[in-house]
């Protein structure tokens, strides 16, 4: 069973930065896609960013230019660098990996942007 573990969340002031990590128990080269979703209280899950095995990236409009997704295959880890954070970025962030149409999920890490 593939396990994904997120880390790096926390409390940050508006305009600040955080770097989320998603460590996989398996070789991430097996993942067709890795990515991040987020869910704020009272809202449904929202896709944030994704990256393919060929490093093609995709971002939701609200984070373009502020967030960067990357993957380090040697470390079996994906990252989400979040800059210029806004209060509306406050949410639980979940990492996923997709293998042949099946999704594996981490348990999430909380990001709170507040002064």
Residues 22-38, mean pLDDT to the nearest whole number:
93
DSSP calls for the chain:
---EEEE--EEE-TT--EEEEEEESS-GGG-SEEEEEEE-TTS--EEEEEEETT--EEE-GGGTTTEEEEEEGGGTEEEEEE-S--GGG-EEEEEEEEETTEEEE---EEEEE--
Give the pLDDT score at 29: 86
Per-residue model confidence (pLDDT) at position 30: 86
Mean pLDDT computed over 48-54: 94
Average pLDDT over residues 89-108: 95
């Amino acid at each position: 069973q593939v396990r994904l573990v997120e880390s790096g969340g926390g409390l940050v002031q508006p305009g600040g930065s955080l770097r989320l990590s998603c460590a996989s128990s398996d070789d991430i080269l097996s993942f067709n896609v890795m990515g991040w979703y987020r869910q704020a209280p009272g809202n449904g899950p929202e896709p944030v960013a994704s990256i393919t095995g060929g490093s093609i990236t995709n971002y939701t409009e609200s984070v373009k230019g502020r967030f960067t997704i990357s993957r380090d295959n040697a470390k079996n880890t994906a990252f989400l660098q979040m800059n210029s954070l806004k209060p509306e970025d406050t949410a639980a962030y979940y990492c996923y990996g997709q293998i042949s149409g099946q999704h594996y999920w981490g348990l999430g890490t909380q990001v709170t942007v507040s002064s």
